[in-house]
Structure 1
Amino acid sequence: MSANVDEQRARYEAAGQGHVFRFWEQLSQGQRDTLLSQLKDIDPEEVGRSYRAMQRGQGESEAPEDVKPVPEDAFGSMLRSPASLLSQWEKQGLEQIAEGRMAVLLLAGGQGTRLGMSCPKGMVSVGLPSGKSLFQLQAERIRALQRLAGTAKPVPWYIVTSAHTHVPTEAFFREHAWFGLDPDSVRFFQQGQLPALTVSGKIILQDKGLIAMAPNGNGGVYRALSSSGALADMQARGVRHVHTYCVDNVLVRVGDPAFLGFCIHKNADCGAEVVEKVDPTEPVGVVCRVGDHYRVLEYSEISSELASRRDTHGRLEFSAASICNHYFSVDFLQEVVRQYEPQMLYHVAHKKVGYVDDEGRPVAPDKPNGIKMEKFIFDVFPFSKNFAVFEVLREDAFSPLKNADKPGQVDCPSTARKAVYILHAHWVEKAGGHVSSGSGGVVCEISPLVSYAGEALQERVKGKTFPSPFVLD
């Protein structure tokens, strides 16, 4: 033990982080074991390098000069592309799915704290009549996709968790028998963590014998794909294409075959699914071309003049709003983990981080006192050699769940429910049926096991009127 302690102490002192041993003599043996276990998993030199690189990046201009909208030759759209092309792209996507060449990658590291819950966000139900959780809805969409593709081959589902969500997520899937999926096709792995730092770059002690740790952002998925063996597993299965999305989108078209087919048609190595931004002040990031590469620029990084600029058709020029829904070729992911991931700079997030003072007393700060370093999943866009952007209808494919319900709130359970009801009632109308309004308005839920995106409903609903609530399962 003594040699191990001396080795770790030397590592941290050399990196200017020797203070993590400040209370060593006061710790019990159990506390010492916990602290040593944490310290062995952290590279203090890398933490220092990342902090200094992040500081340099913070000093650079956040308003790039050569910003242009996505060019037409990289752009496809469910709104404006010809129906014949959309059908062709969807067919091509389904063919790849049937051949077992597509996998789905779910970013599920978030907790439902902003929703007033302590469980993983994927376990949350938005209050649909069926009571289904986000995880169940997405699992059933994968099953529907396999049915549409006419294949018995399972679509591999890789689920990225965090230290807080990993154990309960795995238990939830076991408890629900993997929602009817082949357990061998569902794989869980954790994103990494980094120490929280003071603004001067010092590692924060949460307790006398405990480092304050935080997830390294959804951009940490690339390193986790490699270290967990998930990327190697994809290659062993013959996967060539990966659809990546965030767990909190109640309308997400998991493995969207039209998006997949479009990216394959464009020979893209990386792609983004977007919705149209219609209000210049909407606080969303937009996909842009900056110089000779693509980026997601946050709304604060684009001037109000650029954000308000419209084309000859009256649409915002910078309208490609990012919804954390991406395509990657497996070959590109290999390049990322081998070459590009170390070049991705960390972003800084100012947070309130509990700590112990010089006397070892716990302090709960009332304002941000520390920073957490994060990488974002779209930080790899500039490394793409052939980027593609696919626009979908917001009402068809995007309704995020981020906030608890309260009057006037958006992106909450009530707005997510309403988005499902409106979309599914539209499917019924399109198939020749009708859902009448009840005391709570139109309530319509169609199971993904019945229809993935509104198909195969005519036989069940044509010429019929259904009272609310109408549930088709």
Structure 2
Amino acid sequence: MRIIQKGKAGCIVLAGGLGTRLGHKGPKGTFPVSLVKKKTLFQLLFERIYWLQKKCGSTLPLALLVSSYNQEMTVKFLKKYQYFGLKPSQITFLEQKNIPYLNLQKKPLALVAPNGNGGFLEEAIESGLLDRWAQKGIEFIYMVPIDNPLADPFDAGLMDAMMRSESDVGVKAFNRDDPDEKVGIMVREKGKVVVKDYTAIPLKTLHAKDAKGTLKYPLGNTGCYCFRTSFLQKLAQRKIKLPVHWVLKEVQQGKKTFKAWKGEMFALDLLNYSDATAVISYPKETSFTPLKSRCDLKTMRKNLVQRDRRIFEELTGKKTPQRSFELSAEFLYPSLKLIKQWKGKSLPPRKYID
């Protein structure tokens, strides 16, 4: 927490996607997810940062990686809701570049798509954000995807682990319980900690267990990383370019549907340049509940309620009845006043607790 209090940490939010697969016309961050108040993904994240700032007594720098498809809508939405308590001056918008699709003969098409979450590095360098943050004394840059409301935008535990191990990169992982879950897997390869796509690992290996019945590769990637600013600056000086990964996709253009190659850069490839990487694993239910489609919404809301239940019971020392409710983000970083106010008290009958 001292790193955050001293203003040595910043956060980049991956928010370039649209809510198409959710049946939502706007940016994914504008999709309402919380059970009671129907707060959007942006609101949940921004309110969390707001109360962390109150706890730390400092203003935390934030950058949003947006795309040409959603930047205007994202800015308009956040202005409408006054950035949910944050200051416009603390927020930077980075627009990631597009990559043309390729036809089956690997020739460029007129159709383009955002260049993936790995595009954050190029934009942070070219916009001058990386140097500005370094000049302000920011030593750690945390990165979270907007579609995981359990993601901690300033994970002090991960930054502490990086300091203790003198690591360039920190990765937040979760304990896998489903060997068939479609997530990146943490492995050690050629002396380095890397993330392997589940499709690149044989099924037998994914299901392999040790003598205790635990998966041999138990850690899944949450997509939350922390980078030392100095590490990213070294990559900038070396003019490192991340590889583009091509995947065959079914694409719709107007009334036509056809197959084409889509290219993306991935932030996980930065681990290949790290001499020391720290990995901290958390229970899945407390750290990873991504919203990729409407099918995920029920599980996400259940996990948010369970998190709020744990927080309330730890704070009050009282068990809660088995019903749904929602806590204000203030409970995530409770002040002494809030702790005294709720200590020993039972859950009130209302659904939203603030």
TM-score category, normalised to shorter length:
over 0.9
Match of 1:345 in 2: 243
Match of 2:287 in 1: 397
- CA–CA distance in structure 2, aligned partners of residues 123 and 335 of structure 1: 35
Q: For residue 270 of structure 1, what is the aligned residue in structure 2?
A: 169
Distance 1:401 1:247, change over 3 A: same
Give CA deviations for 1:243-297 in whole Å, capped at 9, x if unaligned.
Answer: 1010000111120111111112211111210000122222211111111222211
Is contact 1:134–1:247 with CA below 8 Å preserved after alignment? yes
Equivalent position to 1:214, from 94, 109, 113:
113
Identity over the aligned pairs, expressed in percent?
29
- SS of 1:110's partner is coil
Per-residue CA deviation, residues 323-362 of structure 1 (Å, 9 max, x unaligned), is: 10001000111123333632x321112223456xxxxxx7
Question: What secondary structure sits across from 2:26 in the alignment?
Answer: coil
1:146-161 → structure 2 map (5 Å cutoff): 146-149=53-56, 151=57, 153-161=58-66
In 2: Cα distance, 1:463 partner to 1:236 partner:
46
Pick one of 124, 138, 150 that aligns with 1:225. 124
Match of 1:372 in 2: 262
- After TM superposition, the structure 1 stretch with the greater mean CA deviation from structure 2, 111-120 or 393-402, is 393-402
TM-score, length basis structure 2: 0.93
- Residue of structure 1 equivalent to 2:41: 134
Bigger Rg over Cα? 1
8 A contact 1:196–1:213 mirrored in 2: yes
Instruction: Summarize the Cα distance change of 1:457–1:445 in structure 2 as closer, same or farther, 3 Å threshold.
Output: farther
Q: Paired residue for 1:435?
A: 320
- How far the C-alpha of 1:469 sits from its partner, in A, is 4.8
Q: Deviations over 1:205-261 (max 9, x none)?
A: xxxxxx311111111111111122221221232211011010000111120111111
Unaligned runs of at least 5 residues, structure 2? none
Deviation at 1:390, TM superposition (A): 0.8
CA contact (8 A) 2:183 2:197 kept: yes
Of 300, 309, 315, which aligns to 2:214?
Answer: 315
Distance 1:460 1:138 in 2: 25
Contact 1:160 1:190 in 2 (8 A): yes
1:306 is aligned, of 192, 202, 205, to: 205
The amino acid that maps onto 1:394 is K
1:171 to 66, 76, 81: 76
Paired amino acid for 1:384: S
User: Out of 396, 407, 415, which is 2:299 matched to?
Assistant: 415
2:76 maps to 1:184: no
2:100 is equivalent to residue 195 of structure 1:
yes
- What CA deviation, in whole Å up to 9, does each residue of 1:9-40 have, x standing for no partner? xxxxxxxxxxxxxxxxxxxxxxxxxxxxxxxx
| Worse overlay, 117-126 or 305-314 | 305-314
Q: How many matched pairs?
A: 353
Map of 1:442-457 to 2, 5 A cutoff?
A: 442-452=323-333
Over residues 178-228 of structure 1, what are the superposed CA-to-partner deviations in whole Å (9 max), with x where a residue is unaligned? Answer: 211122111111111111111222221xxxxxx311111111111111122
Amino acid at match of 2:36: P
Match of 2:347 in 1: 466
1:139-181 Cα offsets, whole Å, 9 max, x none, are 12112222333x2x31100110001111111111111112111
* Unaligned ranges ≥5, structure 1: 1-93, 205-210, 356-361
Asked if structure 1 preserves the Cα contact closer than 8 Å seen for 2:174 and 2:282, the reply is yes
2:6 aligned partner: 99
Q: Give 1:109 shift.
A: 0.4
Structure 2 residue matching 1:328: 3-state secondary structure: strand
* Residue of structure 2 equivalent to 1:68: none
Counterparts of 1:454 and 1:129, CA distance in 2? 23
Residues in 2 aligned to 1:453 and 1:212: alpha-carbon distance in whole angstroms: 48
Structure 2 letter corresponding to 1:420 = L
1:118 equivalent in alignment to 2:16: no
SS, match of residue 160 in structure 2: helix
Matches within 5 A, 1:244-283: 244-283=143-182
Q: What is the CA–CA distance in structure 2 between the aligned matches of 1:254 and 1:199, rounded to whole Å?
A: 39
- For 1:453 and 1:288, locate their aligned partners in 2 and report how far apart those are by CA, in whole Å: 36
Query: What SS does the corresponding residue of 1:217 show, helix, strand or coil?
Result: coil
Contact 1:336/1:380, CA 8 A, preserved across alignment: no
The letter for the 2-side match of 1:332 is F
Structure-2 residue corresponding to 1:7 = none
> Given that residues 212 and 353 in structure 1 are in contact (C-alpha distance below 8 angstroms), is that contact kept between their aligned partners in structure 2?
no
In 2, Cα distance between the equivalents of 1:340 and 1:389? 26
Cα 1:239–1:160, aligned 2, differ >3 Å: closer, same or farther?
same
User: Please, what is the CA RMSD of the aligned residues?
Assistant: 2.1
Q: What is the letter of the counterpart of residue 256 of structure 2?
A: A
Contact 1:166–1:190 (Cα < 8 Å) also in 2: yes
Higher normalized strand content (fraction of residues):
2
